[in-house]
Chain A
């Protein structure tokens, strides 16, 4: 490549000699600090490799990488890796063994998949780091199966540094948008997809899935991208629900104006942001906990949230700053995402195609033998349920709109079991009377029964009749402005009495934050009487923390927050019931007595 004359060779040799002279001769002692650090790094990498998976479809179709995140076998990978592999996969681990695995949940837009390895409850796993703490220049290493090289499933490890953080990569075709990702120069090649990017302590900072390629075909040129593990943590609860998870939209666009400010444009009147008062032209300064200075920064932070999450934002109008909490809707209409995936391959796109050869080349281009791998940019499809082996079949349940409903049932059972521990209401089938002090410290009494809910409230009496054969709860949303307080309380009672078995249609949605509280709540969704109600339970105590009632249409839900749980005849019940709807309705009831007939 570089032709050196004898003089040059000598000069080069001289340079090397000087360089070598600074290294100790073979056999000389290295500083013990260096040897110790080396040994520690070897150990960190050894451990990280044990958690790394090599994922294959049945019969060796397709392939990529993954990483186990808990000892019961849950593992992360890319959607574009698992979609080629089907419902039942085979996963090789560094111990040389091949395990059966089943698909759990997928996030097609974010290119994430959750699977579960079967057969053990003590899989080696890796911890997840806090990817917001990752900085450029931090050393990192990728682990996986590039070019499907590993016949014995021992992963390939490549070392590099973090080249950039909070990087935005445009959607490839119609899906696979990499928002807020980590850029690295650790070698990421076809086959590394779905595998982990670790920090030097062996904790996962991201899942590798994409790279910038151009003139040299799809081989590493030092620019790889990993989905940040914090984004995946936001989706993890949803992924465990076995669903096809959609990303969030604000219902408005943000663009940078000529003065470098980020402004709201194209806001939908049906969006929660509009109902909260956001309007065209407002300046966006904070979103999702981050300062926003560019439209890209907004797209980045929006991309890390699943639909239905509520996030804080700040807008500035006429010099005044307004803090809001907005509900994010789904990017796709209900069912549209599943249809998009079923539709099959999209029109051709230009990312990742080998570059055109220069026209002045007279020699044949040496062909790099890249093995046949699923084309990464091709739109992946939903896993199909054909010929699932017996060992995997018992962990799979088909249901339209879901990838694997089996896990949804498991989560429902988990959440219900934790809730049940606070009190079994199955025998409290008679009317419930709740005496309390309402707004203005005035007395308020609620009477909840199967066929009627009524309240003697400071604002007046309210009474709703319910026909058990055909409850039309969506039509009775009194008291006025509450969004359906009485109906919500009716459903609360119904849920505690009947549970997930008999309430009606109940599914597990995932986890989500609620305003002014830490942590992510488990969310069960019930549909009854024409309305959707969400039950939000605390992830560790299991207590029912909140309830949201969504009548049909684009209106604010009725939100009820339960707190100050106390023991009442062997069951825990809330002493504070806080009801909100939008920004106008806000009432707190302090319970003085519960009576069960």
Chain B
């Protein structure tokens, strides 16, 4: 290669570099943001890996003892869930709580002294503000490799009040709309932060507008999910998923069954088959109440008015019914819909 030109050019180049460096110094130093955020990011691995459904997604720590905020998705439909921390340590986690309407889930690993985002100290952002999106899109990183970072702006802060059938999601709340392509496989559950490394929101799931087939890049602001997440961490959320050992329900003497209700579930083929209803017997209590095939049972509660219990699978639903007396009135919450998902509640009682 020919030797570089004169000293003058070199001096000019270094002046250039110094000026640009000066400008960049006006922003918080790069090292601060990376050091603040990367250790709190986790990579989540679970169920899926076929038919366009990824088996991985992103999450971030929200407590020092291992609560991880992420999106509620099919990836979490397995036991255990594998979590990789930023330092490469691998943990087995379980879903500690979820709010399907927010599409929020909290995964718990058993650890201590972990770096985490304090949800009370999260920040807000205005349209036009520069932001960074941290996530493990496309599962580019594994083990101790840092997750990917994208740069963007807040385009708008608005409600995801879509027309019927526009977006296949139950979430209708506030979102940050972003101009960075955060809507990628595996990015959901990632962290939206500002340049100080403060948490702004959680990256949303892949949403595609069924009218014009454009994908939406959005993030759920922290203010929207903070309370629910903190309730789950405190163990006082509704719904509860795992009750402490001394609160375990006792099997009923004469338990309720699906047959009594007139509900037939889909065949139990996966490790954890979501509780989809395959058929409803005509004139059964379920049919009369308005439950329909293809409904997915999400929550169940009985007349004792304890908190509704989250239904994770077919097996789980059958098990929950064994704790309920056959004469008791129950409330089932289901998710219904193809293009548009809705949560509906039905109260019923076997005769």
Contacts and interface: CB of A to CB of B under 8 A. Distances in A.
Interface of A: 1-5, 8, 11-12, 15-16, 18-19, 33-34, 36-37, 40-41, 43-44, 69-72, 74, 127, 135-139, 160-161, 163-164, 166-167, 183, 185, 200-201, 212, 214-216, 220-223, 256, 260, 293-294, 296, 355-356, 358, 360-361, 363, 365-366
A19 B127 contact: yes
Given A33-B23, A36-B19, A361-B213, A185 B158 contact: no
A142 B154 CA distance: 23
14 contacts: A2-B158, A2-B160, A3-B166, A4-B161, A37-B20, A71-B2, A136-B34, A164-B149, A212-B137, A212-B184, A214-B185, A215-B206, A223-B138, A296-B143
B289 interface: no
A212 B158 CA distance: 30
A2 B19 CA distance: 41
Given A2-B158, A8-B159, A223-B148, A72 B2 contact: yes
Given A201-B17, A296-B145, A360-B338, A3 B161 contact: yes
Given A163-B148, A294-B88, A360-B338, A8 B158 contact: yes
A296 B150 contact: no
A360 to B, nearest CB: 6
Interface string B138-172: 10111111111111000011111111001000000
Contact of A40 (B1, B16, B138, B212): B16
Contacts of B177: 2
Contacts of B16: 40, 43-44, 201
B143 A160 contact: no
B181 A40 contact: no
A37 B137 contact: no
B111 interface: no
A185 B209 contact: no
A294 B180 contact: no
Given A15-B126, A36-B19, A72-B2, A4 B141 contact: no
A70 B150 contact: no
A167 B140 contact: yes
A212 B210 contact: no
Interface in B326-345: 338-339
B304 interface: no
B142 A296 contact: yes
Contact of B210 (A12, A74, A360): A360
A212 B34 CA distance: 23
Nearest to A5: B161
Contact of B181 (A34, A37, A185, A360): A185
A361 to B, nearest CB: 6
A221 B212 contact: no
B209 A33 contact: no
Nearest to B29: A137
B208 interface: yes
B191 to A, nearest CB: 14
Contacts of A44: 16
Given A2-B160, A136-B146, A223 B338 contact: no
| Most chain A beta-carbon contacts within 10 A, residue among B1, B34, B88, B206 | B1
Interface string B182-222: 11110000000000000000000010111111111000000
B180 A33 contact: no
Given A2-B161, A72-B2, A358-B208, A37 B23 contact: yes
A15 B34 contact: no
A458 B138 CA distance: 64
Contact of A163 (B4, B20, B150): B150
A36 B210 CA distance: 46
| Most chain B beta-carbon contacts within 10 A, residue among A127, A135, A214, A355 | A214
B13 A294 contact: no
Nearest to B159: A8
Contact of B215 (A40, A216, A220): A216
Main secondary structure on chain A at its contact with chain B? Answer: loop
A185 B162 contact: no
Contacts of A15: 126-127, 156-157
Interface residues of B, number: 63
B23 A163 contact: no
B52 A356 contact: yes
Main secondary structure on chain B at its contact with chain A? Answer: loop
Contacts of B206: 215
Given A167-B140, A216-B215, A34 B1 contact: no
Given A2-B161, A185-B180, A223-B140, A366 B150 contact: no
Contacts of A4: 158-159, 161
B22 interface: yes
Contact of B339 (A43, A163, A360): A360
B80 interface: no
Contacts of B141: 164, 167
Given A4-B159, A223-B140, 17 more contacts: A2-B156, A2-B162, A3-B162, A15-B127, A37-B22, A44-B16, A136-B30, A136-B146, A137-B30, A138-B30, A164-B148, A167-B140, A201-B13, A215-B52, A293-B88, A294-B142, A296-B145
B33 interface: yes
A11 B33 CA distance: 31
Nearest to B21: A200
B20 A19 contact: no
A223 B33 contact: no
| Most chain B beta-carbon contacts within 10 A, residue among A4, A33, A163, A365 | A163
A12 B154 CA distance: 12
Contacts of B216: 1-2
B215 A70 contact: no
A223 B137 CA distance: 9
A1 B156 contact: no
B243 to A, nearest CB: 33
A366 B20 contact: no
A2 B127 CA distance: 15
Given A18-B126, A293-B144, A40 B20 contact: yes
Contacts of B24: 139
A221 B181 contact: yes
Given A3-B161, A163-B148, A164-B140, A41 B208 contact: no
B140 A212 contact: yes
A34 B213 CA distance: 39
Interface string B24-55: 10000010011000000000000000001000
Contacts of B88: 260, 293-294
A293 B151 CA distance: 29
The 10 closest A-B pairs by CB, nearest first: A222-B181, A19-B128, A37-B23, A70-B1, A212-B138, A185-B150, A137-B30, A163-B148, A161-B151, A221-B181
Contacts of B147: 164
